[in-house]
């Protein structure tokens, strides 16, 4: 079940470096794009950075709306995760093509992808130079959600192999989130 | 054995989101700091961004030298990885405290940490606003290295459980890089 995550814990949803799906919307258009280059940069207020290349339809929608959602998919969605990084959404609705169901976000206009393990609703911070020079978008996390079987009391669990997160290595080859290991305290 | 990695492949060394150790040096001082917030932002020329907080000794050394190394540690080093994130290196040599051996880098003055799986030698790109506003350092990757049993023909292998990379969840709890899975092409 999708439950809200306090914003001060939002960074934990992507701290282990999962490959994400970025959803965006503007007017009657929407899109989904695979993005490995997304990370937290602050705890409280929670902030992220994401690389959104200049030649993508996602860039057009994010620039127009000032919003996006970082969705954290699981092994169940591996084929869609890879495919969504291979084609543009300018000419087709990738949600329909790849059978990706959505639900409304709470604050931003971009949709949440059903079946993911975590979601960060983001609002772009205007930083024109970073966007133009590095395709790098700073954003405030304005709402965060997690599946309550996958993220429990602020810590990731991976209840089944299918619930593991995906971490892209290269060309459709991923490594999953593996064993939990603990350092000496 | 440590072997050079072509710069156009350097992003692959951290694309799956491992927690890293950042080494730095200036004059006769050096330091090592745990950093989960490091990622690639460009392929060629290879660039990374790293969050280096303003109140850290690493920040002092990186600002003074304009250089750092992103080291990718493995499960073998888990205790040092966690410990290096808990204390400042201003008053002690964390390499000695945590038994971390080093070897010289090829281009930058910061050392490479022996026993890691991959290394990116980085030179800071002067972006004062990003540094001051977000603690975010853009850097060019000027040399890259990998253990030739862990990174083969441009793809990560994890030959043993001890060779897996670490991905910090919270408070010394990590998830390791797990199984290799492939999407339909």
Mean pLDDT of chain B: 96
> What is the spatial distance between Cα A85 and Cα A174, in angstroms, rounded to a whole number?
13
In the predicted structure, residue A90 carries a pLDDT above the cut 90: no
Give the tokens for residue B69: 């190394």
Q: Region B83-91: what's the mean pLDDT?
A: 88
How much of chain A, in percent, has pLDDT values that exceed 70? 100
Residues of A in contact with B172 (CB under 8 A): 182-185
The dihedral through the CA atoms of B125, B130, B132, B135 has a sign that is negative
In the predicted structure, residue B177 carries a pLDDT above the cut 90: yes
Q: Measured between alpha carbons, how far is residue B182 from residues A12, A81, A166, B88, B185 in Å?
A: 26, 11, 10, 41, 9
Q: Are B30 and B46 in contact (CB under 8 A)?
A: no
Torsion of CA A28, A139, A83, B5, to 10 degrees: 150
ipTM of the complex: 0.96
Confidence of residue A89 (pLDDT cuts 50, 70, 90): confident
**DSSP element (H, E) containing A65:** helix A57-65
* Residues whose CB is less than 8 angstroms from the CB of residue A158 and which lie 6 or more positions away in sequence, other chains included: A150, A164, A165, A177, B175
The dihedral through the CA atoms of B146, B152, B156, B158 has a sign that is negative
Q: What is the pLDDT of residue B160?
A: 97
Q: What is the pLDDT of residue A92?
A: 87
Among A27, A37, A36, A34, which residue's Cα sits nearest to residue A89?
Answer: A34
CA atoms within 13 A on the CB side of A1: 2
In the predicted structure, residue A88 carries a pLDDT above the cut 90: no
Q: What is the pLDDT of residue A12?
A: 98
Q: Which of B16, B154, B164 sits opposite A168 (nearest CB)?
A: B16
Which of A15, A17, A99, A140 is most worth mutating to test chain B (most B CB atoms within 10 A of its CB)? A17
Q: Region B135-143: what's the mean pLDDT?
A: 98
In the predicted structure, residue A83 carries a pLDDT above the cut 90: yes
Q: What is the pLDDT of residue B57?
A: 97
* Residues whose CB is less than 8 angstroms from the CB of residue A128 and which lie 6 or more positions away in sequence, other chains included: none
Among A77, A60, A71, which residue's Cα sits nearest to residue A143?
Answer: A71
> What is the spatial distance between Cα B148 and Cα A91, in angstroms, rounded to a whole number?
42
**Subunit contact B183:A12, Cβ cutoff 8 A:** no
A100: left (phi over 0), alpha (psi -120 to 50) or beta: beta
Among A165, A115, A122, A124, which residue's Cα sits nearest to residue A142?
Answer: A122
**Subunit contact B180:A184, Cβ cutoff 8 A:** no
Q: Are A33 and A84 in contact (CB under 8 A)?
A: yes
């Amino acid at each position: 079940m999708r439950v809200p995550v306090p914003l001060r814990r939002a960074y934990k949803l992507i701290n282990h470096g999962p490959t994400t799906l970025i959803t965006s919307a503007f007017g009657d258009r929407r899109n989904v794009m695979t993005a490995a280059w997304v990370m937290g940069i602050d705890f409280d207020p929670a902030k992220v950075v994401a690389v959104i290349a200049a030649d993508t339809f996602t860039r057009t929608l994010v620039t127009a709306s000032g919003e996006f959602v970082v969705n954290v998919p699981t092994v169940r969605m591996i084929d869609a995760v890879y495919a969504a990084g291979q084609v543009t959404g300018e000419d087709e609705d990738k949600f329909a093509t790849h059978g990706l169901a959505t639900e409304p976000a709470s604050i931003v206009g971009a949709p949440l992808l059903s079946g993911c393990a975590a979601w960060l609703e983001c609002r772009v911070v205007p930083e024109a130079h970073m966007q133009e020079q590095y395709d790098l978008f700073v954003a405030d996390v304005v709402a965060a959600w997690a599946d309550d079987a996958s993220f429990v009391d602020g810590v990731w669990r991976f209840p089944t192999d299918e619930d593991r997160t995906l971490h892209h290595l290269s060309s459709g080859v991923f490594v999953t989130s593996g064993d939990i290991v603990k350092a000496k305290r």
